[in-house]
Each structure stands twice: as C-alpha cells, then as structure tokens.
A = this chain, B = another copy of it.
Amino acid sequence: MAYEGCEVDNAMDVVVIGAGIAGLVAARALVRGGTEVAVLEARDRVGGRLLNGELPGGAPIEVGGQWVGPGQDHVLALIDELGLRTFPTHIAGRHIAEIGVARSEYRGRIPKLNPLALADVAQAQWRLDRLARRVAAAEPWRADHAEDLDAQTFATWLRRAAHTAGGRSFFQLITEAVFSAEPEDLSALWAAFYVGAAGGLDALINTAGGAQQDRVVGGSQTIALALAEELGDRVVLGAAVTDIEWEASGVRIVAGGTTVRARRAVIAVPPPLAARIRFTPGLPGDRDQLVQRMPMGRVIKINVVYDEPFWRRAGLSGQANSDQRPLGTVFDNTPLEGSPGVLVGFLEGRHADIGARLDLADRRAQVIDDLAGYFGPQARHPIAYIERDWAEEEFSRGCYGAFTTPGTLTRFGPALRTPVGPLHWAGTETATRWVGYMDGAAESGHRAAREIASALVRSRA
C-alpha cells in the first residue's frame, strides 16, 4: 500500500473511494478484468467498519463488524477465495434474558418471556416476515403499500403489530441490536426491506443459523487486509477525498495533496459521508436529498477481557440480552484458542447517546456493572477494556449502517444505486441482500464493478 504524497498514475481507468469491503471488492474485480484502478482511503488503514483491535498478548479482537452467517454467499465466497477460515461463535451453555421480566436462563433460540408476550412476539414476527417477503429487495419503493409503510416509523408499525409490553420491549431490543437505532428512527419500509434482504427476522437475530453464527479466524478485518494485499500499491492510504469534479467522460478527484484523474469512479463510503464530498457540478437534487436523509446508526462496541471465559464454567454461554440494562446485548467473543476470555457488549441507539456523554471511567463502570449483573462478581475483574465509539470516527460517523428516515425510500430510493455520469455507488447500504452486512458490501462491490466494466466496454466500442 502506498501513502499519501506518493505519485499516483494520473490517468487511471477507475478510482475507488473507500477501502472497505465494498470498495476493495470492486477494485479487485476491475483489476482482474484488466482495468487500471486506484483506491483512495481516508484512514491510515483499510477495512472501513471492520477493524482488528489487540488483546493483551497481541491476538486480534474484532472492534467493528465481525460476524458472518449462512446465506451470506458473497462474503462467504470471498472468505473462501482469500484462503481465510471461519469458526463458530461460542454458544454452548445457557443464555441470559431479561426481557419484560426478571432474569431467566434458556437454551436454544427462544428466550423465556411470559407466555402472552411470547405469543405476541410470534404473531408480530410472523407479520413482519410476511411483510418483508413482499418488499422486493431490489426496488422496495415499488412494493405494495410502499407509500403507507414509508409514511410511518417502525415504532408506529410495531405499536399496531405488537400488543403486550413484553412483545414491544422485545422488538425494541432487537431493533437496537440489528440497526443500532431506535424503532422511531427508521422508516417502517426500510425495516421491512432490511429484514427481507436478510431472508427474515430469524436470520438477522440468530446466532447458530443466523447472522451471528460465525467469526473470521484472525479477525474480520483480515478480509480487507487480504484484498488490499492483492491490490498492492493501488491502495493509497491517508487520502481523504474532499472534491470530485466530473463530466460524462471522466472525473478529477482531490484528496489532500493527491489529485487523480480517471474515466470513472466508485464511491464506496457510507451515504452520509458521500454527502460530505464536494461534487462539481453538484449532484442532482434526488441524490443529494437522499444522502441528507440516510443517517448512520449509533453504537459503542466494547470488548471486556478476562483471564479466562469464567462464565463457561458456570454453564453460561456468554450470550445475554436485557431491556433493562444499557448494555442490552452481549456475546462470548473469546478467540478460537479459548483464552483470554472475552465478552463483547453493545451500547446501541439511545444507550449509545447516553454512554457517549459519560467520561470513560463512568462508562466503563456502568458496562462492568451490567456484566456483573449478568455473569456475577467475577465480571468485575477484567484484564482489559477495549471500546470503540463508531459515531466519533470521522470516517464512519456511526455504525452498523445507514438507514432511511420515513418518506425517503419512496421519494429518493432509486438514487441509491443509479450512477450519475461517471460516478457509481457502492457500499452495503446499496445492496439488495444482507444490507448493512459485509455480505451486502461485497455484493455492492461486484455490482459496481459490473456497471463500470460494461460502461468501459461501451465507451471503447
């Protein structure tokens, strides 16, 4: 990889902006097709919302996106091609749930709720899954009743779909866990689209059989690192793109001291960050309005490290959920080797707002309190505390992904993927399956590369 200030070929075929999975996959596909590519990455590292931190002793630990699961064909194929391996998230033992009721422990998929709440969750999930199947993932804005759904928040939809306090509480918790947003933030159409794009709610929320099933050996960032390795000097780090001048025949891209010309560009950064690049001429109103209306979710991800995974000896899996604690979702995040013990927890949505306003010591104390509440007093003695507030990161400004606010998909949805002259859009938010996941990012990179390949063929014909 090259660093800012290096000479960059001044007449590329394609410049890719953003070295997350979407951009790197697009770049690799184009390079393999014989296209000259440069990838400009604002940070001093690749991976975007994927990042390996370091455990005491030096082993990697995921501080960004981390899981893959069945049905995520694009990312699983990519992992396989790159010679990487996955291993199952640890789930043996009893899970902990505090949802609408005091603590319960359970095995398998279904937390213990009171029977009325459980029936309520089941019927509301049935309704949500039915709705999600009807929202075509490629063009959700064309679904039956799309306008009705997009006119309301997911909170409004849930109020009609779930009738018990426990049922509503369950859905609030999973909205936070899946979107790192609150039900009131999201368009109901976006929520249905997102669930449909994953193949149903179970696929999103399950560990075994779902989106949290597996982890990547060496940490998920290794996917991006391996892609970047293959691309070599084509990846330029520390190159924050501020200006893009464009016309039908090409682009001129400014990133600090570096200027690159190319025939086409892939913009593979989250929508609200794409809004912060200055385009000349300005982008069409539809595209600009869209990116004004796709905010990022908010999450603080915290890995708490112990000498050993002490909870396993107590018969606990390390998986815990609560609608009564800020740290509402916890998993065992111990490395494959089994040591040190790691619990990963998330402050999501409103809990991230509140958590971010605390200073580190207070936030840490609160997180440890919650872990002790779940797993007992041994949780009070970690050997390391590793947190990442993604909303504070200049080049993410939130996680897990962007969502659309009400009215946005039906008014501006087509602008998500429609190229503007030589500008193509990638990133997990532009995917049609597993939107918000690594898999959607990979899909979008392939799609952008195909768009460009056929555009370059046409222009050569």
Chain A residues proximal to chain B, CB less than 8 Å: 147, 150-153, 155-156, 181-185, 240, 242, 272, 275-276, 278, 282, 284-286, 288-289, 292-293, 295-296, 298, 350, 352-353, 356-357, 389, 391-394, 397-398, 405-408, 411-412
**Chain B contacts of A356 at CB under 8 A?**
284-286
CA distance A357 to B412 in the complex (A): 12
CA distance A185 to B181 in the complex (A): 18
Interface centre among A296, A357, A406 (most CB of B within 10 A): A406
B292 touches A272 (CB 8 A): yes
**Chain B contacts of A293 at CB under 8 A?**
185, 295, 405
B391 touches A184 (CB 8 A): no
**Chain B contacts of A286 at CB under 8 A?**
353, 356-357
CA distance A350 to B285 in the complex (A): 12
- Out of B353, B397, B405, B406, name the residue touching A411 (CB < 8 Å): B353
- Out of B185, B285, B352, B408, name the residue touching A392 (CB < 8 Å): B285
B394 touches A282 (CB 8 A): yes
What would 24 A/B residue contacts be, using CB atoms closer than 8 Å?
A150-B184, A152-B152, A152-B155, A181-B407, A182-B407, A184-B406, A185-B293, A185-B405, A242-B242, A242-B278, A275-B275, A275-B276, A276-B276, A278-B394, A282-B393, A284-B356, A285-B391, A288-B397, A288-B398, A289-B296, A292-B398, A293-B295, A295-B405, A353-B411
- Out of B152, B282, B292, name the residue touching A295 (CB < 8 Å): B292
Chain B, residue nearest A158 (CB): B151
B276 touches A411 (CB 8 A): no
CA distance A150 to B411 in the complex (A): 21
- Out of B153, B288, B357, name the residue touching A156 (CB < 8 Å): B153
Interface centre among A272, A286, A389 (most CB of B within 10 A): A272
CA distance A336 to B212 in the complex (A): 68
A391 touches B289 (CB 8 A): yes
CA distance A298 to B352 in the complex (A): 32
Interface centre among A183, A357, A405 (most CB of B within 10 A): A405
A407-B153 contact given A276-B275, A276-B278, A292-B398, CB 8 Å threshold? yes
A153 touches B406 (CB 8 A): yes
A185 touches B285 (CB 8 A): no
B242 touches A398 (CB 8 A): no
**Chain B contacts of A350 at CB under 8 A?**
411
- Out of B284, B393, B407, name the residue touching A185 (CB < 8 Å): B407
A289 touches B285 (CB 8 A): no
Chain B, residue nearest A280 (CB): B394
CA distance A307 to B295 in the complex (A): 48
A285 touches B272 (CB 8 A): no
Chain B min CB distance to A350 (Å): 6
CA distance A293 to B292 in the complex (A): 7
Chain B min CB distance to A109 (Å): 29
- Out of B153, B285, B292, B397, name the residue touching A152 (CB < 8 Å): B153
**Chain B contacts of A183 at CB under 8 A?**
151
Chain B, residue nearest A353 (CB): B411
**Chain B contacts of A412 at CB under 8 A?**
353
Chain B min CB distance to A405 (Å): 4
- Told that A152-B152, A288-B391, A295-B405 touch, could you supply 7 new A-B pairs with CB distance under 8 A? A150-B184, A153-B153, A184-B406, A242-B242, A278-B394, A289-B353, A406-B406
**Chain B contacts of A282 at CB under 8 A?**
392-394, 397
**Chain B contacts of A298 at CB under 8 A?**
285, 289
**Chain B contacts of A289 at CB under 8 A?**
295-296, 298, 353, 391, 398
Chain B, residue nearest A147 (CB): B184
Chain B, residue nearest A398 (CB): B289
CA distance A147 to B272 in the complex (A): 25
CA distance A242 to B392 in the complex (A): 19
Chain B min CB distance to A301 (Å): 14
